[in-house]
Amino acid sequence: MSLGSIPPKYKVSIDREQCMDCGRCIENCSYGTFRREGDKILIQSRKCTACLRCVSMCPRDAISLTENPVDYRSHPLWTREAREDIIKQARSGKIILAGMGNASNLPSIFDRLLLDACQVTNPSIDPLREPMELRTYIGKKPSKLEFKKTEAGDVELATKLSPNLKLETPIMIGHMSYGAISLNAHLSMAKAAKETGTFMGTGEGGLHRKLYPYQGNMIVQVASGRFGVNVDYLERGAAIEIKIGQGAKPGIGGHLPGEKVSAEVSRTRMIPLGSDAISPAPHHDIYSIEDLVQLVRSLKEATEWKKPVFVKIAAVHNVAAIAAGIARSSADAVVIDGSRGGTGAAPKVFRDHVGIPIEGAIASVDQKLREQGTRNEVSIIASGGMRNSADLAKSIALGADAVYIGTAALISMGCRVCGNCYRGLCPWGIATQRQDLVDRLDPEQGAMQVSNLIHAWTLELSELMGAAGINSIESMRGNRDRLRGYMLDEGILEVLDVKNAGA
C-alpha cells in the first residue's frame, strides 16, 4: 500500500533479567500484545493500547512502556496527530472515532481558579469537630414559602414541596450505559451509590434486573433510542433523566456497535441481539422546546408526578438560554455536560472541537436562571471532566448544586484512560461484554473502590469548606466571592463573574 503503516503508538519491553516467565502478561492482555513462542515471551508493540494491565499485573515490575517510540520531524503545525489523522482518512475515507473525553490541549479553566481560606477575620471550621453539612437536595424548590392559619390558630406550611432527591454528598455518578460498560461495572457503582448515599445514572441502556436492588439510588435515563424504556423502568428509578445531548459529542447521536449487543444487553435494552443500538441525534418526538415540555410532562404523567425529571444537555454556545427554557418546562434539574465529558466513542472532530467547557457553562446558566427568577425551579448538575475534589468545589462555587463523575468513577475501578472502550476488549472488565474480562472486575471490590473515591472527595470538600469558614454546602453554592482567577483573561473572568487573584 502506497501509504504504508503509521508507526506504533507505544513500545513495550520486558526486562528479561527481571522476568520470571510467569506469563501473566499474556493472560492479562486482551489485545494480544504478548504471546509465547517456545520458552520466550514475544511482544507485538503495535497491538498495545497502554491500558497498563500487564504492567500492573507483572509481579516483577519487568514491563516498561514508552509512548511514541518513533519521532516524526518536529513541526509546530503538522503535529504527529494531524499527520496520522490524514493518513487514516486518506486510506479509509471515513470519520475518525475516538474513545474517552476531549484530548485537545486547551488549558483547563478549573486549574486557573483558586479557592479561598480564612485567616484571622473569621475562624476556619474543623470538620472533624464541628458540624459540616453536605446534604444536597436535587429537584425543584419553591421560590418562596407560603403559610396558612389553621382553625386552631396555628400557622402551618401551605406550600407543597416537589419530590427531591436527597444526597449525602454532592457527588453523583453520571450516566454510562450498560452495554457500553459491563454489568459488573454497573453493579460496582450502584453498590457504591447506595453505600455513600448518592445516586447513579443508568445511562441509556436500560436497567439490568441485577440492579433492581439498587433502584432507589438509580436515575433512569430516557435517551433518543428509548432503549429499555417502559413504564416499569420509569417507575423503578428514583428520578428520570432525559438525555438530549452529551458533552463529548454535542449535536450527534451515538451507537453501540452490534458486537457489544450480547444476549443480556439485548434483553436489557429490549432490542435485537447483535444489531447496532442506534441513538439518533435528536429525540424524534422533540424538535422544539415545547416538545421537550411535552416529554417532561409525559414522563411525569406516567409516574404520577412522583419522580423528579432531569434534562441533560451538552454545554453549547447558547447553553444559558436553553437551560432557561428547560427551567420553565416542569423539569426538576438540568444536567450540563461540558466539552471535556467522556464517552465510549465519539467522532474525534466533535470530541475535540464542539461545545464549551463546563466552567463557563455553569457560570452562565446560574446567572441566566437567577436573572429570570427560575433558579429554584431547577437544580444544576455539572459534569464533564471532574478530576478531583477541587473541580467539585469550584463547580459548586460557580453555581452547581452537584456534579456527576464519570471517567473518575471508571478510573477508581481500574480504568487507565487508554481510550479503547469501543473495542469491547477492556482488560479491566469495564468497557466490555466478554464474560472472562467482565469477571476480572469483582463488584464488591469495585464498589469499595468507588465508595472510597466518593468518601475521599467528600472529606476533601469538607476540609475546603471548613477552611473557607463555611459549614453548609448551601453557602458554597454560587459563592463566586470565594474564587479568584489566575491567568484568566478579562473576558472569561467576566463570564465567570470572578475577580482576579489579588483583587
Residue ranges in 228-267 that form contacts with other proteins under rule CB under 8 A: 229-232, 234, 255, 257-258, 266-267
Residue ranges in 412-471 that form contacts with other proteins under rule CB under 8 A: 419, 422-423, 468-471
To other proteins, the closest distance from the beta carbon of 439 in angstroms equals: 26
**Residue 252, number of CB atoms within 10 A of its CB:** 17
**Residue owning grid cell 520466550:** 40
Q: Which of 42, 278, 349, 456 binds other proteins (CB under 8 A)?
A: 278
**Residue 164, number of CB atoms within 10 A of its CB:** 17
Judged by beta carbon, residue 206 or residue 414, the one nearer other proteins is 206
To other proteins, the closest distance from the beta carbon of 428 in angstroms equals: 19
Residue ranges in 71-100 that form contacts with other proteins under rule CB under 8 A: 88-89, 91-92, 94-99
To other proteins, the closest distance from the beta carbon of 293 in angstroms equals: 10
The Cα–Cα gap between 30 and 14 comes to: 18
Residue ranges in 363-402 that form contacts with other proteins under rule CB under 8 A: 366, 370-371, 373, 375-376, 397, 399
Residue ranges in 293-312 that form contacts with other proteins under rule CB under 8 A: 294, 297-298, 301-305
What number of chain residues touch other proteins (CB under 8 A)? Answer: 95
Write phi, then psi, for 21 (nearest 5 degrees): 60, 35
The Cα–Cα gap between 136 and 482 comes to: 20
The Cα–Cα gap between 210 and 226 comes to: 20
Confirm or reject binding of residue 503 to other proteins (CB under 8 A).
no
Confirm or reject binding of residue 479 to other proteins (CB under 8 A).
yes
Q: Measure the CA angle with vertex 205, ends 202 and 206; round to 5°.
A: 70
The Cα–Cα gap between 443 and 445 comes to: 5
Q: Which of 12, 43, 125, 192 binds other proteins (CB under 8 A)?
A: 125
Judged by beta carbon, residue 19 or residue 281, the one nearer other proteins is 281
Q: Which of 41, 248, 320, 476 binds other proteins (CB under 8 A)?
A: 476
Confirm or reject binding of residue 494 to other proteins (CB under 8 A).
no
Specify the 3-state DSSP secondary structure of 279. strand
Residue ranges in 27-46 that form contacts with other proteins under rule CB under 8 A: none
Contact 220, 207 (CB under 8 A): yes
Confirm or reject binding of residue 105 to other proteins (CB under 8 A).
no
Residue ranges in 152-181 that form contacts with other proteins under rule CB under 8 A: 155-157, 159, 161, 164
To other proteins, the closest distance from the beta carbon of 414 in angstroms equals: 22
Furthest-apart CA atoms within the chain: distance in Å: 92
Judged by beta carbon, residue 229 or residue 447, the one nearer other proteins is 229
Contact 247, 383 (CB under 8 A): yes
- b/e sequence 322-342, b meaning 16+ C-beta within 10 Å: bbbbbbebbbbbbbbbbbbbb
Contact 69, 21 (CB under 8 A): no
Q: Which of 36, 40, 284, 353 binds other proteins (CB under 8 A)?
A: 284
Q: Which of 39, 105, 121, 152 binds other proteins (CB under 8 A)?
A: 121
The Cα–Cα gap between 289 and 329 comes to: 8
Q: DSSP letter for 151, please.
A: T
